[in-house]
Amino acid sequence: RKEVEQDPGPFNVPEGATVAFNCTYSNSASQSFFWYRQDCRKEPKLLMSVYSSGNEDGRFTAQLNRASQYISLLIRDSKLSDSATYLCVVNPYGGSQGNLIFGKGTKLSVKP
């Protein structure tokens, strides 16, 4: 089983749609979780951290279910500018190592 698994998509949605991405991780001791965004031919950039209680940033909501080892990202009212690849990222160790394990990414394409 891969350490971090995501549906690769692509997700093709119209503007204004709500879209949800899911991610599972294999290491139950994982410490922290993130969603990164990567535009075509660009570097990954942090979209948001994922907290145990769930957190929201504007149109974006992230949820964590430690019991099921499952992370989700919900995007409401999709914009054309949301088109990108969304990377689920896990730090399985915490502490000072800070090694990040990346999922392969889910590609989102928002159409007019």
Partner 1 sequence: NAGVTQTPKFQVLKTGQSMTLQCAQDMNHEYMSWYRQDPGMGLRLIHYSVGAGITDQGEVPNGYNVSRSTTEDFPLRLLSAAPSQTSVYFCASSFPGGVPGTEAFFGQGTRLTVV
Among 10, 16, 54, 98, binds partner 1 (CB under 8 A): 98
Query: Degrees (nearest 5) of the Cα angle 109, 58, 71?
Result: 65
Instruction: Establish if 72 lies at the interface with partner 1 (CB under 8 A).
Output: no
User: What residue type is 42 in one-letter code?
Assistant: K
Assess contact for 90 and 3: CB atoms under 8 A. Answer: yes
What is the Cα–Cα distance from 6 to 63, expressed in whole angstroms? 15
By rule CB under 8 A, what count of residues binds partner 1?
25
Among 69, 76, 93, 109, binds partner 1 (CB under 8 A): 93
22 SS3 class: strand
In whole angstroms, the minimum distance from the beta carbon of 53 to partner 1 comes to 12
In whole angstroms, the minimum distance from the beta carbon of 91 to partner 1 comes to 4
Q: Are strands 19-25 and 11-14 parallel, antiparallel or unpaired?
A: unpaired
Of 17-25, 43-51, 63-71, 75-83, which segment contacts partner 1 by CB under 8 A? 43-51
Residues forming contacts to partner 1 in the complex (CB under 8 A) are 31-32, 34, 42-46, 49, 51, 87, 91, 93-105
